[in-house]
C-alpha cells in the first residue's frame, strides 16, 4: 500500500515500509553509503519504490540530523554586474554536480554588513560561504575565521588568508600593455578599480610592471569604482592631464562604457584618437558603439574552482589558495588601433 503524509509527500518511512527494509537501510541505500552491502535485488527494490513514490529527502530534516545542509552561500558585491552572473551560473552548476545548492546574496559595499551572512552558516542554512565581496575591514572576514566557518574568497582576494580563489589577473594587465605597445602606443592610461581592493592593486601593479618592461613613456593610473560614471570621470581626468595619451585600459566593462562616453563627448574618435580596451568580456561589448576590445577572463572556471575549493574545505581539507590555470585572452573588435602620426 502506498502510504503518504504531509501534503502527499512520501517520506523515508514510507519507502522503507513499502520496500520492506528498515529506515536505516533505506537511508543508506538512497545515500550510497559504502558500508551497506545489501543484495542487489534489495537495493534495486528500495530504489524502485523511492522512484515510484516520488520520494524526495526532506533537506531540512536531513540537515538537522546529519549536521550538514548541503547548501553553500555565495556573496557577490552586486547582482547587477554581469561578470558575477557568469561566475554565479558556473557556481550553481558545479555545486549541483557535487550535491550542493547555492544560495546567492548581494553584499554591497555601502551597506552595513549585519551578521546575517555568518548566520546563514551558524543557523544551519549553509555549510560554507563563497565570498565574492571581500574588502578590507569587512566584518565578516574576521568573524568567519574566528568561528571556524568554512569559506573561500573568490575573485577579490584577502591577502594572507590562504583561501583565495582567483585568476591570473597579472597576465591580463601584461596582455593589455603588450597589445597597446605592439600597436605603437607610448602613453597608455589605466582606469583601475577602488584602491582599497587587493584585486585593483594587483591589476595596477601588473599594468605598471608591464608598462616599464615595454618601455612606455607614460602610464598614468587612476583608481575609481567599477561603474560607468566613475569610468567616465576618470577618463576625462586622464585625457586632460596627459595630452599625449592615445590609449586607455579600463578594469571593468562598466568603466569602459564610461570611458567611451567621455572620449566621444570630448569630440575624439575611437580608435583613431584614442584606443580603448576593457577587462572582462561580455556580450554587451560586441554591440557598443564602437564594439569594444576586451580581455576575456575565465569566469566560468573561476566559479567552478571556488565551489570545489569550498566543498573540499567542508570535507575537512586545509584551506589553500587556488589560481585558475587558464590564461586571459584578447578579444579584438576594433576599438584599438595604432596611434596616429
Partner DNA sequence: CTGAAAGCGCTTACAG
* Site for a second copy, residues 288 to 327, rule: CB under 8 A: 288-289, 291
Angle at alpha carbon of residue 273, lines to 272 and 279, rounded to 5°: 90
The stretch near DNA (CB under 7 A) out of 50-58, 85-93, 174-182, 274-282 is 50-58
Cell match 552491502: residue?
37
Closer residue to DNA (CB): 25 or 90: 25
Residue 35 CB, shortest distance to DNA, in Å, is: 6
Work out whether 98 is an interface residue with DNA (CB under 7 A). Answer: no
How far apart, in Å, are the Cα atoms of 111 and each of 115, 252, 288, 299? 12, 22, 32, 26
Q: What is the enclosing helix (H) or strand (E) of 265?
A: helix 253-265
Quote the cell numbers at residue 296: 576575456
Q: Is 221 left (phi over 0), alpha (psi -120 to 50) or beta?
A: beta
Exactly one of 15, 154, 224, 260 binds a second copy (CB under 8 A); that residue is 260
Give yes or no for residue 62 binding DNA (CB under 7 A). Answer: yes
**Grid coordinates standing for 181?**
605597445
Sole window of 53-61, 202-210, 222-230, 259-267 interacting with DNA (rule: CB under 7 A): 53-61
Q: How far is residue 70 from each of residues 67, 114, 127, 129, 314, measured CA to CA in Å?
A: 9, 23, 6, 12, 10
Closer by beta carbon to a second copy, 164 or else 230: 230
Which of 32/289 has CB closer to DNA? 32
Contact 91, 114 (CB under 8 A): no
CB-CB contact of 152 with 73 (8 Å): no
Site string for a second copy, 11-50 (x = CB under 8 A): ----------------------------------------
Which residues of the chain form contacts with a second copy (CB under 8 A)? 7-9, 56-61, 63-64, 69, 78-80, 82, 84-86, 88-89, 92, 101, 103-106, 119, 122-125, 147-148, 227-229, 231-232, 254, 257-258, 260-261, 264, 283-284, 286-289, 291
Amino acid at each position: 500500500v502506498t502510504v503518504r503524509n504531509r501534503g502527499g509527500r512520501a517520506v523515508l518511512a514510507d519507502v522503507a515500509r513499502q520496500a520492506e527494509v528498515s529506515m536505516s537501510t533505506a537511508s543508506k541505500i538512497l545515500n550510497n553509503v559504502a558500508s551497506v552491502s545489501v543484495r542487489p535485488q534489495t537495493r534495486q527494490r528500495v530504489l524502485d519504490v523511492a522512484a515510484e513514490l516520488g520520494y524526495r529527502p526532506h533537506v531540512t530534516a536531513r540537515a538537522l540530523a546529519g549536521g550538514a545542509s548541503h547548501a553553500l552561500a555565495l556573496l557577490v558585491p552586486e547582482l547587477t554586474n554581469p561578470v558575477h552572473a557568469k561566475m554565479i551560473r558556473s557556481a550553481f552548476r558545479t555545486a549541483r554536480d557535487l550535491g550542493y545548492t547555492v544560495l546567492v546574496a548581494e553584499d554591497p559595499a555601502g551597506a552595513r554588513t549585519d551578521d546575517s551572512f555568518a548566520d546563514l552558516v551558524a543557523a544551519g542554512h549553509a555549510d560554507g560561504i563563497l565570498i565574492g565581496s571581500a574588502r578590507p575591514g569587512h566584518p565578516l572576514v574576521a568573524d568567519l575565521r574566528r568561528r571556524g566557518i568554512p569559506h573561500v574568497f573568490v575573485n577579490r582576494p584577502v591577502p594572507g588568508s590562504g583561501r583565495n580563489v582567483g585568476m591570473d589577473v597579472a597576465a591580463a594587465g601584461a596582455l593589455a600593455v603588450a597589445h597597446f605597445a605592439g600597436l605603437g602606443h607610448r602613453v597608455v592610461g589605466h582606469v583601475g578599480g577602488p584602491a582599497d581592493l587587493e584585486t585593483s592593486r594587483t591589476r595596477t601593479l601588473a599594468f605598471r610592471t608591464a608598462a616599464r618592461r615595454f618601455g612606455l613613456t607614460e602610464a598614468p593610473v587612476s583608481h575609481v569604482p567599477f561603474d560607468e560614471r566613475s569610468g567616465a570621470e576618470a577618463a576625462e581626468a586622464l585625457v586632460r592631464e596627459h595630452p599625449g595619451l592615445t590609449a586607455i585600459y579600463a578594469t571593468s566593462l562598466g568603466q569602459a562604457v564610461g570611458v567611451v562616453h567621455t572620449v566621444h563627448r570630448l569630440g575624439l574618435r575611437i580608435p583613431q584618437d584614442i584606443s580603448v580596451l576593457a577587462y572582462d568580456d561580455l556580450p554587451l561589448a560586441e554591440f557598443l558603439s564602437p564594439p569594444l576590445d576586451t580581455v576575456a577572463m575565465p569566469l566560468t572556471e573561476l566559479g567552478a574552482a571556488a565551489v570545489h575549493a569550498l566543498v573540499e574545505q567542508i570535507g575537512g581539507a586545509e584551506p589553500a589558495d587556488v589560481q585558475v590555470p587558464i590564461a586571459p585572452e584578447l578579444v579584438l573588435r576594433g576599438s584599438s588601433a595604432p596611434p596616429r602620426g
